[in-house]
Amino acid sequence: MPEVQALPCGFETLEPFVSAWALPTMQERNARRVAMPMDQIRAFYDAIAPHMEPLLDRFSALSVDHAMSPAEERLFYLGQAFMEVAMAMEYFGEPDVPDGFDRARWQIVKG
Amino acid sequence: MRGQDGELRAFYNICTHRGNKVVREQPAGNASGFSCNFHGWTYDLEGRLRHLPDAPEFPGLDPCDLGLRGLAVGVWENFVFVHPAGNPPPVSLDDWLGEVKAALVGGPLSKLQPSAIFRATVKVNWKVFHDAFSEGYHVATIHRRSVADAFISKDNPYCHLAAVRLYRHHHIASIVGGNPDHRPTRAEQLVARYGGSKYGVSSVDLFDQLPAGLNPERQPAWALDIVEVFPGFAAHVGVDYCYTYNFWPTAPDRTEWEMRLYQMPARNLGEVIARQYTAVVLRDTVREDVNTTEATQQNLMSGFIQHLPLGLQEVLLRHRYDVVDACVRGANA
């Protein structure tokens, strides 16, 4: 059955970002961040930043063993993706770490 | 591994027959036993040889003598240590940790849970690698694009240590943090409000939870204590988080390295998101540190450098080299 809604009510404006950023692991989110040009990272950051408080309010009311619906889960991953891109936007001004150790040799085992 | 009897044991991953590996995948998870896929020798979780195929063709061998070779195991807070000697080890873990263990009693370590793991194979000597994390002097320069502003206040621009304790092999230093003039970013504001870890921000309000051995001077602008356990382990311990480094030398100029982040268990899914930020910040910030190490190693190997002028703030490096020197000479083993 096709999904009626990609994201929970109130977060519809973030739907264009679901395919790129609703990724379940840090490894995937970091790979997406460094593969994206800065203007696309900025577009996602600017779109989600005003929604972060309602997003965090929503998830703060849910216990860690709460069974998320698919739409809820995508929103959860978008919230984590905001944390992933924040360093690029708020500090580095570029997608990856400037003068950082070779990312190809840096293994994210768990995150 | 934990046996059926609940006891923790460690074994060399070496089949006692022809020396193949009995665990070939990542050494994590659950198993009911271990089987060598060369000739099928099978061991149980207590390390005993349980199946010796075609046993009559090994006349005179007692299977009881052919269990996996054990290592000594010790547990400190959340960490499991092994000693390459069998039981008992030449020195117990408690005796080896000594003052370090005492300093952290009642601290956050036992309350924390692992949340992130990073690994790299780095072409650097293990001591040079260790050195990259053993002072605050580098923060203003190496981390100028990341966490320097959050850590460094104008009255301590070079991140001078707040306290230093040198023991026989190990040492602890208190790193300052929580610059009052730092303007928190949007993410940092959210992290503070929704229960993220207190990395790089003031934790004065939680000092009543700190044991006397952490931040012993009760420096208000405190970030974390660098706890370095000789030879190859470091734990950077904050009020509600800790990250560790393991340095495994595999050659004079090569180190297998692992970083683990531990945080308080999240009470809700909002905290899971907020705590992700600390994992991202540490991952990106430590990539700044690690990037210095291979160039340093190349230059040290060139032979042009006869000595390094270490400053007073680099006292942990000086102490490490004193300890290494004494151990190499057999004076402090």
**8 Å CB contact of B273 and A56:** yes
Rounded to two decimals, what is the model's pTM? 0.94
Give the mean pLDDT of B39-68: 95
Which residues does chain A have within 8 Å of residue B273's beta carbon, measured at their own beta carbons? Answer: 55-56, 59, 76, 79-80, 83
Tell me the pLDDT band of B332, cut-offs 50, 70 and 90: low
Q: In the prediction, which pLDDT does B109 show?
A: 95
Q: In the prediction, which pLDDT does A3 show?
A: 54
Rounded-to-integer distance, Cα B178 and Cα B164, Å: 19
Amino acid, res. B300: L
Main-chain dihedrals φ then ψ at residue B164, nearest 5 degrees: -135, 135
Token code pair at residue A82? 């905001």
Which residues does chain A have within 8 Å of residue B122's beta carbon, measured at their own beta carbons? Answer: 101, 105
Touching check for B272 and chain A: CB below 8 Å? yes
Distance from CA of B194 to the nearest CA of A (A): 7
Which residues does chain B have within 8 Å of residue A26's beta carbon, measured at their own beta carbons? Answer: 116, 276, 279-280, 283
**8 Å CB contact of B145 and A98:** yes
**8 Å CB contact of A110 and B114:** yes
Which residues does chain B have within 8 Å of residue A56's beta carbon, measured at their own beta carbons? Answer: 190, 193-194, 270, 273-274
* Lateral strand order in the sheet of B79-83: B10-11, B70-76, B79-83
Residue pair B34/B14 in contact (Cβ under 8 Å)? The answer is no
Give the burial class of A22: count Cβ atoms within 10 A of its Cβ; 0-12 exposed, 13-18 middle, 19 or more buried. buried
Task: Share the mean pLDDT of chain B.
Answer: 95
- Which uninterrupted H or E stretch holds A86? helix A70-87
Mutate to test the interface with B, among A34, A56, A89 (most CBs of B within 10 A): A56
Give the mean pLDDT of B207-233: 95
- Contacting A residues, span 11-70, partner chain B, CB-CB under 8 Å: 26, 30, 49, 52-53, 55-64, 66, 68
Give the mean pLDDT of B87-103: 94
3-state secondary structure chain B: CECCCCCECEECCCCCCCCCCCCCCCCCCCCCCEECCCCCCEECCCCCEEECCCHHHCCCCCHHHCCCCEEEEEEECCEEEEECCCCCCCCCHHHHHCHHHHHHCCCCHHHCEEEEEEEEEECCCHHHHHHCCCCCCCHHHHCCCCCHHHHCCCCCCCCCCCEEEECCCCEEEEEECCCCCCCCCHHHHHHHHCCCCCCCCCCHHHHHHCCCCCCCCCCCCEEEEEEEECCCEEEEECCCEEEEEEEEEEECCEEEEEEEEEECCCCCHHHHHHHHHHHHHHHHHHHHHHCCHHHHHHHHHCCCCCCCCCCHHHHHHHHHHHHHHHHHCCCCC
Rounded-to-integer distance, Cα B155 and Cα B157, Å: 6
Give the one of B146, B190, B268 whose C-beta lies nearest to A91's C-beta. B146
CA atoms within 13 A on the CB side of A69: 9
Q: Which residues pair with A108 in a beta bridge?
A: B118
Token code pair at residue B266? 């999240």
Nearest chain A residue to B260, by CA: A110
Q: How many CB atoms lie within 10 A of CB B103?
A: 22
Tell me the pLDDT band of B86, cut-offs 50, 70 and 90: confident
Give the one of A49, A56, A79 whose C-beta lies nearest to B186's C-beta. A49
Touching check for B296 and chain A: CB below 8 Å? no
B292-318: pLDDT as tens digits: 999 999 999 999 998 999 999 999 999
For every one of its 111 residues, what pLDDT tens digit does chain A have, with 9 covering 90 and above? 455 689 999 999 999 999 999 999 999 999 999 999 999 999 999 999 999 999 999 999 999 999 999 999 999 999 999 999 999 999 999 999 999 999 999 999 999
Q: In the prediction, which pLDDT does B333 show?
A: 55
Give the one of A52, A58, A111 whose C-beta lies nearest to B190's C-beta. A52
**8 Å CB contact of A58 and B187:** no
**8 Å CB contact of B120 and A58:** no
Could you give the C-alpha distances from A75 to A10, A13, A69, A72, B180, in angstroms and in order? 11, 12, 10, 5, 33
Give the mean pLDDT of B324-328: 95
Mutate to test the interface with B, among A64, A76, A78 (most CBs of B within 10 A): A64
Q: In the prediction, which pLDDT does A79 show?
A: 98
Touching check for B322 and chain A: CB below 8 Å? no
Residue B85: is its pLDDT beyond 90? no
Touching check for B274 and chain A: CB below 8 Å? yes
**8 Å CB contact of B288 and A62:** no
Give the pairing type, strands B49-51 and A107-110: unpaired
Residue B29: is its pLDDT beyond 90? no
Q: In the prediction, which pLDDT does A99 show?
A: 97
Q: In the prediction, which pLDDT does A5 show?
A: 87
Touching check for B268 and chain A: CB below 8 Å? yes
Nearest chain A residue to B261, by CA: A111
Q: In the prediction, which pLDDT does A1 show?
A: 46
Q: In the prediction, which pLDDT does B174 show?
A: 97
Q: In the prediction, which pLDDT does B78 show?
A: 86
